[in-house]
Homo-oligomer: A and B are copies of this chain.
Amino acid sequence: MRVVKKYGGSSVSTIDKIKNIAIHLSKNKKVGDEIVVVVSAMGKTTDNLMKLANEISLTPDIRELDSLLSTGEQQSISLLSMALKSLDCKSISLTGAQAGIKTTGLHTKNKIESIKTEKIESYLKAGKIVIVAGFQGVNENGDITTLGRGGSDTSAVALAAALRCECEIYTDVPGIYSIDPRVYKKAKKIERISYEEMMEMANLGAGVMETRAVEIGKKYGVKISVGETLGPETGTYICDSSEIIEKKVVTGISISKNVIMVNLENFLVIPKNISIIFSAIAKNGVNVDMISQNEGDNLIGSIGFTCPIADELFLDIALKEVENYIPDIQVIKRSEVVKISLVGIGMISNFGVAAKVFEVLSDIDAKFYQCTTSEISISLIIKIDDTIRVVEKLAEVFSI
């Protein structure tokens, strides 16, 4: 059996954890098994390297930053391979460059362009467990590159695609839950979820897997499982929707804190003004999410949108610029809100999901400020204090 197994930073945060993974791998490898292991940097290594870089500059050169940050994974692969060899288990560590992971794009945000698997294949043929550094590659100039935070998932799924095998992602939770268990204790672990649902969940802030990794999985049909490192249970299986026989209307609810909602009111909703508003916001690098527009009488209307709380400083600058251009505009900013999103591939064939959601909110008298929908999701901005009772009621109604 050929497989790519990925272990995240918290799974390799200490030498003991690395040793335990090595023991597990060496015990379970059967003759003929071809195992590629992708690891992240140990625990807080990347954060600590970032701190060093920031002591030099708050905006360190990104080529050098990539070279610096990539050392974290290079350390963990070497240590894991050492641990395997000390158990007399044949293995070899490969940096992204050594593993043939060619990337392209901006430093710190590279994308994988291709993977030359000859070296990996030859080591697999020799019976070695091949340990590959996640999160990194090499560009056509020979410079070391990184794939951005969470990039190790992307490395793992891309390797599985190139090697035509399944990908197992091991992390510190037993799988993907219908709802964040820290918010809703009765949340259930999802057995199977489609790529599309998983992408919506990741985008919407479920935070278990990188969207890009799931995208690559979908594109190349890589079956992905997500489970707990050395845990007893089977995890969640991410696959094509055709492999999910009973399609639930709502598979999960993701909850995004750290959002700000902005309402702009009392202005002429004409294309010129809309353009002024969103140009100012884009120019200041604010990452706008949910946009909704309402037009009242005489073209006087309102627009609402959300953005990450981290962008608040730049949002304020942008809003000041907008007020200069459109003097009478009224700005309402709300930060005591959360965004909840119901995701389910079954929504495609089930009408009236939104209606049911609104009914639930009405029943429990919970206000929502904004609502947007996609083909397989409904997102709502609600008051932060309402989070638990809204989520509990929705979970009950949609049996998730």
What is A's interface to B at a CB cutoff of 8 Å? Answer: 15, 18-19, 49, 52-53, 55-57, 60-61, 63-65, 67-68, 70-71, 74-75, 77-79, 81-83, 85-86, 92-93, 95, 98, 119, 142-144
Q: Complex: how many Å from CA A82 to CA B58?
A: 11
Contact of A77 among B67, B74, B93 (CB under 8 A): B67
A93:B67 contact, CB within 8 angstroms: yes
| Smallest Cβ-Cβ distance to A53: which chain B residue | B82
Q: How far apart are A387's CB and chain B's nearest CB, in angstroms?
A: 42
Nearest 9 CB-CB pairings of A with B: A68-B78, A71-B71, A57-B86, A67-B78, A61-B85, A15-B55, A64-B82, A64-B78, A60-B82
- Chain B residues near A143: list those with CB within 8 A: 98
Q: Is the CB of A61 within 8 A of B86?
A: yes
Find out whether the CB atom of A56 lies under 8 angstroms from the CB atom of B71: no
The smallest beta-carbon distance between A76 and chain B, in angstroms, is: 9
Q: Which residues of B contact A70 (CB under 8 A)?
A: 74
Query: B65, A82: Cβ atoms under 8 Å?
Result: yes
Q: Return A270 CB to nearest CB of chain B, in Å.
A: 45
> Is B49 within 8 A of A64, CB to CB?
no
Whether the pair A98, B142 counts as a contact (CB closer than 8 A) is yes
B53 touches A79 (CB 8 A): yes
Closest to A19 in B: B56
Contact (Cβ within 8 A) A79 B74: no
Q: A64-B93, A93-B64, A98-B142 are in contact. Are A57 and B82 (CB under 8 A)?
A: yes
Assess whether A86 is in contact with B68, with CB atoms less than 8 Å apart: no
Q: How far is the CA of A354 from the CA of B307 in the complex (A)?
A: 84
Contact partners of A95 in chain B: CB under 8 A: 67, 144
Query: What B residues does A82 contact at CB under 8 A?
Result: 53, 56-57, 60-61, 64-65, 68
**A56 contacts B83, CB within 8 Å?**
yes
Q: Are A79 and B56 in contact, CB atoms less than 8 angstroms apart? A: yes
A68 lies within 8 A of B75 (CB): yes
Q: Report whether B98 and A81 are in contact in the complex, using a CB–CB cutoff of 8 Å.
A: no
Minimum CB–CB distance for A385 against chain B, Å:
44
**Hey, which chain B residues are within 8 Å of A119, CB to CB?**
142
29 cross-chain CB contacts under 8 A? A15-B55, A49-B75, A52-B75, A52-B79, A53-B79, A56-B82, A56-B83, A56-B86, A57-B82, A60-B86, A61-B82, A61-B85, A61-B86, A64-B78, A64-B81, A64-B82, A64-B85, A65-B78, A67-B74, A67-B77, A68-B78, A68-B79, A68-B82, A71-B71, A71-B74, A71-B75, A98-B142, A98-B143, A119-B142
Q: Tell me, in angstroms, the Cα distance from A82 to B107 when the chains sit together.
A: 14
Q: Shortest Cβ distance from A229 into chain B, in angstroms?
A: 18
Question: CA A67 – CA B65 in complex, angstroms?
Answer: 19
Nearest-Cβ distance from residue A49 to partner chain B, whole angstroms? 7
List chain B residues, Cβ under 8 A from A93.
64, 67
Q: For A86, list chain B residues within 8 Å (CB).
A: 56-57, 60-61
**Bound CA–CA A53/B19 (angstroms):** 11
* Given A64-B93, A68-B78, A93-B67; A18-B98 close (CB under 8 Å): no
- In this complex, what residue of B is CB-closest to A81? B64
In angstroms, Cα B70 to Cα A75, docked, is 9
Which residue of B56, B71, B77, B79 contacts A18 across the interface (Cβ within 8 Å)? B56
